[in-house]
Structure 1
Amino acid sequence: MLSRIHNLLKYCYNDNSGDRLPDINLQLFLIAAKSMMPYEDAIGCSLDTIRYEKEIELLAYYKNGCNDSLNYYLENKKPWEKEDALLEFRIIPVIIANTQWDNLLNEVLKTVSFYSSNKKDILNSLIISSAVNEYLSEDIFPENINDIIKERVINFSLRDFYDANNIQINKVRLIEFEKERISALSKIAIVTDEMIEKFKSLKFIFCERTTEKSDESTETVLSSFSSYLFKLRKGIISPEKLRISLDNIPEFKEFLKYESFSHPLLGKCRVLKRGEKEVILKSKTGLMKVNL
């Protein structure tokens, strides 16, 4: 199982030994993984939405790349209606950390809903979640995965998700989503060749998957977080160990006055270089270039 997780992550993200700047895809992975909170009385994890929101706001200082959905959220504090180009990179850690389908899908859609209300993003997240979940669960052929995904798309209710999470229902969006769902279900295979080319996780599962044991002898960001997500998935990390106080955190620029510091969200950081417009930091997950 650990090798399966690691192989998937290595295919989908650019790994980092902590000696260079993670790209925005990996940064989105990291803030989602760090925002997973184990359930008190069940195996699996919920998205700590308060922490996730603070992680997003902090990411604005050091993000290494551009994403329209993220930028729109940071400027407007509400989801974008257009399709999110980096959808899968946000939700993969949420999928891996959960095994029970209903909980998994609910937490994935909560993550998606921060940035997007787009009908394709909702449907694609359902499809990606199903494919990754089945890949991690057991050895089955791609055509069988298609059947499972199709059944889940049929049974999914966007209205029920909105009701359960107290999200205001937009009837126009519901109708648009239903049209998108009907269109997807009318195809021979719900996971189309176009989707496989578009999403790295689907391409890995349907075309490039490997059964080889991954090399974890050298610790990298992805090997470390593969192990972490594996433990979350197995329910062997106590939520008490992950709880942190998010109250009264000073402005990030206050931390930058020091040569080294410990931030509630970033952990221990050390200043490597200072400039007029930027500061280079070193943390456990790699380098960060903070724009001043």
Structure 2
Amino acid sequence: MYDYYIIKRFPSTLTGRVLTLITLITCWTEASGLTGVKISLPAAVSPGDTATLVCHYDLEGEPLYTIKWYKGREEFYRYVPKEHPETQVFPLPGIDVDVGMSGDGRVVLREVSSELTGKYRCEVSADAPNFHTKVVSAHMRVVKKLEGDPMLVLEKTRYTVGDMLRGNCTSPAHIPSANLTVFINGRKVNTSFLERKSDNYKRIRTTVGINYLVLTAGGLRIQCVADLYNAFTTQTELVLEEDRPRLASVLGTRDSGSVGSKTLSNFSCIIFLLINVLMVYLR
């Protein structure tokens, strides 16, 4: 019975060891070679500007085979260090590659247009013997910059501790709509409402409400920041003074009363003198 148990267990134990060895080899192979692949590009760029796309990678000693760039599913640029020339551009509507500024892990696009908004991919491949390949992607948007600053309106120009600061902020009209953030004394505050309205040109204005309880003494610095994809920003800032109570001067009131009393006393003396002179004259 004992011998039978050993015989039955042996194949299972051997298989487990083999699988473990294969797993370790696979993990070691995966861990070595191509790592740290990531893409860096502007979240938004204005029409007519230049956009630089960068692909970061670490081959850990392995040779590079190729780097390919795609917009959507269409390849538009390739870098192969073993070929001459090393770079190759594939025609794609709206894409103008600056070949002189592009190269290993980098491609520069000139005079971008709105049609270049979309998803971009970078594909990095190591050379023999492993031929590791990794692909990363990111979005880039081509939009116009914001025209003008936000409009910040407040209920009052002076505040004191315990007052409720009320107002609103409206972004410039734009497609797409801008995001609005309100800061008071450098700290972000929650807005009380948000609404969006479009004009005849389908441009959108965003409005947020401000409802803030003043808890600290001193002036208030209110900032309203409009931004698009954290790439284009404009802002408006207002500084409010603290409304401090003004106390009347007791001394000043007393002095004023004293002057009035003296004036009345002098006037009485003059009248009395005139009466005496008139009585002497009538005698």
TM-score of the aligned structures, taking structure 1 as reference length: 0.21
TM-score of the aligned structures, taking structure 2 as reference length: 0.21
Q: Whose helix proportion is higher, 1 or 2?
A: 1
User: Which one has more relative contact order, counting CA pairs under 8 Å at least 6 apart?
Assistant: 1
